[in-house]
């Protein structure tokens, strides 16, 4: 008699998923590829049609200590994470039926996709797609082949109309101030020091 234990699909077993490996091959550090995978899971769990800049910011804050060091104090981080958590219980519900388009790139009829995503995976909002491309450009400008969390954070705050900036500012963290800390403190943060 055959055992009744169902086999798990390959994508649910340990190890990176195919779309996570594709993100890494598309110019992302391993850490940032994990951030993208986390944002994708968050969008699916929240029932959102697209990964937006707030999903990316939330996943980035949870995964990257260098990003947390640049963003602000413990109190600011707690307030910011509180707003991000609220998106699934009310704060972000008005976003679920709309496309995040800050004007960074033209709105496309179907969501943009990155890195070999599965057909049922959420697409990318135009603003999130633009932020991912900007993060890759920032890394290349530095002479690196892989974008980091700080590259993505800089790209997210570079779009003043994005959902990420809206949440940051509601938490009392101004985009221009954060951008200045990123630009002046990247080398210190990379060495493990906190820049606040």
pLDDT tens digit string along 49-61? 889 999 999 999 9
Q: Determine the Cα–Cα distance for residues 146 and 14; give it in Å rounded to an integer.
A: 24
Structure tokens, 145: 């082949």
Q: Determine the Cα–Cα distance for residues 87 and 79; give it in Å rounded to an integer.
A: 13
pTM for the whole thing?
0.72
pLDDT tens digit string along 167-186?
999 899 999 999 999 998 74
Is residue 83 within 8 A of residue 167, CB to CB? The reply is: yes
Collapsed DSSP state (helix, strand, coil) of residue 172: coil
Task: Tell me the average pLDDT across 129-151.
Answer: 94
pLDDT score recorded for residue 11: 37
Task: Tell me the average pLDDT across 92-107.
Answer: 50
Percentage of the residues of the chain whose pLDDT score is greater than 70: 63
């Amino acid at each position: 008699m055959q055992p009744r234990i169902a086999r798990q699909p390959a994508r649910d077993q340990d190890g990176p998923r195919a779309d996570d490996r594709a993100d890494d091959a598309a110019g992302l550090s391993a850490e940032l590829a994990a951030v993208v995978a986390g944002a994708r899971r968050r969008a699916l769990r929240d029932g959102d049609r697209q990964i937006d800049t707030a999903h990316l910011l939330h996943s980035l804050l949870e995964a990257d200590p260098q990003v947390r060091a640049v963003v602000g104090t413990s109190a600011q981080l707690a307030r910011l994470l509180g707003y991000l958590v609220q998106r699934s219980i009310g704060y972000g519900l008005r976003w679920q039926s709309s496309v995040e388009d800050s004007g960074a790139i033209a709105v496309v009829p179907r969501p943009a996709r990155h890195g070999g995503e599965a057909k049922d995976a959420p697409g990318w909002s135009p603003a999130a797609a633009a932020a991912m491309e900007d993060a890759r450009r920032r890394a290349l400008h530095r002479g690196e082949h892989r974008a980091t969390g700080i590259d993505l954070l800089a790209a997210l705050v570079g779009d003043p109309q994005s959902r990420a900036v809206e949440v940051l500012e509601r938490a009392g963290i101004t985009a221009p101030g954060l951008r200045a800390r990123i630009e002046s403190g990247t080398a210190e943060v990379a060495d493990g020091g906190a820049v606040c």
